[in-house]
Chains A and B, each alone.
Chain A
Amino acid sequence: MALKNQKQVEAFADNITACADDIHGRLIEAIKDKKIDQMTAQQIFQNEASLRQHANTLYIDAANFVVDGLGESHTSLIDLIGSARESIRTMEKLAGTIGLIANLILLAAAACTAKPGPILSAMKAVQSDILALNNSREPLSDGIDDLAGDSSAHHTAIIRT
């Protein structure tokens, strides 16, 4: 095709439309001046309409150019949506830190009392929290479905819909 880019195609279509507009103006004048009969007028009008169809063909071409040109941006947007989902999933892991913080504060309070029993049990609790956190980091790279049983899986559900 001789017309390579979208802007050229659009400009050409605009010109064809302008020609059709011009023909229409002359046609109406000629009818009013009784210079042509009805059949001729109908024929000229269909020619005008045909020019408009040609212009519309070019607008479809231009639209297809836009669609083709947007492929890359579309892919970037979709990829980005995927990584946003990922960051929400990562956030769900934070739920595990809540228990840790509470137990750390307990440990601090126990340390103040200098009583071995409470200190030991608070330390045990902290240790198990950390263990649980480390384990929960593993499935991060897996599919989103791993979180299905998670208490905060509803976030994932929101994203999916």
Chain B
Amino acid sequence: MNAGKIASVILLTLSLLGCANLDEVREYATESAKFSAYTELTTRFRDTYEREQPYLSGEAAQQAQENDRRRKAAYNDLLKIHRGVALYMQTLAILAGEDTFSLSGEIDSLAGGIKAYPDLGIDAKHVDALAGITKTVTKWISASRQQNAVRNMVREGHEPLQTTLDGMNSLIRYYRKTNENEHKTVLGFFEVEMLFLDTPENKLLEALARAHLQNKVREYSQAQQKYDNAEQGIMRIAEGHRKLFEGIDKLSSAEIRSAISKFAKDIKSVRQNLQYVHE
């Protein structure tokens, strides 16, 4: 058997061995890393005082100021939680990336260096085949390395990630409850004062208050949607990672791949919904 034949047999055999196809994992991790609703709501939480301040006086105003100081003090630590998750997801996306473990650049430069050796029965055609084998062998080695790296990361990351996401959900709940108190303070103020505006000389004031109130009602109902979306997104990220963790040994199975892909799409659509809320 000459070198050319050897080459084609090896090439065929190796191409039948599975290579790492981690497209869905990458897609899921990329979408999860992009999901930043938590950050936005953390900032909204920090800025509570700015919005409620005009409607407060006396003791309530003093307390609000003290709360403002404490929220600002906690802000960086609250953001750090999200940064940890985002960095984890970015790294997972890179690990599962098409180019991360690819050595095609090195192989191409090598192919240029291989010469034909007529003495050995290796001609130009064989040189191409040789480059092909080399490519397949290294692809195969790098694929299994890549799968292992992704597996290790998902296995070890699962518990701390779930705990962190769980914590983020609790935090969003506190943000939401804080926002509800703000909402009731602002709208409640108008409700009380407008009941005393029921006289002809207050017509103008009443109209202005009503117009302002309409804006406020819209603002708070949009905020409400943001909390809903953030909770949904974080839940999908957690479920997606659970699916990944459970199916880590059969990442190439169609069932796991389509499930992970579904989570990626869900997370993306929640993120896009959030963008609509902004517009």
Interface residues in A13-67 (C-beta closer than 8 Å to B): 13-14, 17, 20-21, 24, 27-28, 31-32, 38, 41-42, 45-50, 52-57, 59-60, 62-64, 66-67
Interface range on chain A (Cβ under 8 Å from partner): 35 or more
- Tell which of A28, A85, A90 touches B91, judged by Cβ atoms closer than 8 Å: A85
B77 at the interface (CB under 8 A from A): yes
In the bound complex, how far is the Cα of B100 from the Cα of A38, in angstroms?
69
Is A50 touching B74 in the complex (CB atoms < 8 A)? no
Closest chain-A Cβ to B61's Cβ sits at a distance in Å of 8
- Chain A proximity mask over B150-182: 1 for CB below 8 Å, otherwise 0: 001100110111011001001101100110111
Q: Which residues of A contact B171 (CB under 8 A)?
A: 63, 66
Q: Which residues of A contact B67 (CB under 8 A)?
A: 53, 56-57, 60
Closest chain-B Cβ to A67's Cβ sits at a distance in Å of 5
Interface range on chain B (Cβ under 8 Å from partner): 35 or more
In the bound complex, how far is the Cα of B120 from the Cα of A83, in angstroms?
45
A77 at the interface (CB under 8 A from B): yes
Interface residues in B133-149 (C-beta closer than 8 Å to A): 133-134, 137-138, 141-142, 145-146, 148-149
- Tell which of B84, B120, B156, B178 touches A109, judged by Cβ atoms closer than 8 Å: B120
Is B163 touching A113 in the complex (CB atoms < 8 A)? no
In the bound complex, how far is the Cα of B193 from the Cα of A41, in angstroms?
9
Closest chain-B Cβ to A2's Cβ sits at a distance in Å of 19
In the bound complex, how far is the Cα of B192 from the Cα of A28, in angstroms?
7
Q: Which residues of A contact B161 (CB under 8 A)?
A: 73, 77
For B58, B84, B94, B161, the residue with the greatest tally of chain A CB atoms inside 10 Å of its CB is B84
Is B114 touching A102 in the complex (CB atoms < 8 A)? yes
Which of B104-112, B219-227, B232-240, B252-260 makes up part of the contact surface? B104-112
Is B181 touching A20 in the complex (CB atoms < 8 A)? yes
With A70-B163, A101-B134, A102-B134 as known contacts, state yes or no: A118 contacts B120, CB within 8 Å.
yes
B212 at the interface (CB under 8 A from A): no
Closest chain-B Cβ to A111's Cβ sits at a distance in Å of 9
B121 at the interface (CB under 8 A from A): yes
In the bound complex, how far is the Cα of B57 from the Cα of A1, in angstroms?
28
Interface residues in B46-66 (C-beta closer than 8 Å to A): 48, 55-60, 63-64, 66
In the bound complex, how far is the Cα of B109 from the Cα of A152, in angstroms?
13
B196 at the interface (CB under 8 A from A): yes
B205 at the interface (CB under 8 A from A): no
Is B105 touching A151 in the complex (CB atoms < 8 A)? yes
Given contact pairs A77-B87, A152-B105, a sample of 10 additional A-B residue pairs in the complex whose CB atoms are under 8 Å apart: A6-B170, A20-B184, A42-B192, A59-B177, A59-B178, A66-B170, A67-B77, A73-B161, A76-B159, A81-B91
Q: What are 7 of the A-B contact pairs (CB < 8 Å)?
A: A50-B58, A63-B74, A67-B81, A78-B84, A80-B88, A91-B100, A102-B131
Instruction: Give me the interface of A with B, judged by CB distance under 8 Å.
Output: 6, 10, 13-14, 17, 20-21, 24, 27-28, 31-32, 38, 41-42, 45-50, 52-57, 59-60, 62-64, 66-67, 69-70, 72-74, 76-78, 80-81, 83-85, 87-88, 90-91, 94-95, 97-99, 101-102, 105-106, 108-110, 112-113, 115, 117-118, 151-152, 155, 158-159
Instruction: Give me the interface of B with A, judged by CB distance under 8 Å.
Output: 2-3, 6-7, 48, 55-60, 63-64, 66-67, 70-71, 74, 77-78, 80-81, 84-85, 87-88, 91-92, 94-95, 99-101, 103, 105-107, 110, 114, 117, 119-122, 130-131, 133-134, 137-138, 141-142, 145-146, 148-149, 152-153, 156-157, 159-161, 163-164, 167, 170-171, 173-174, 177-178, 180-182, 184-185, 188-189, 191-193, 195-196
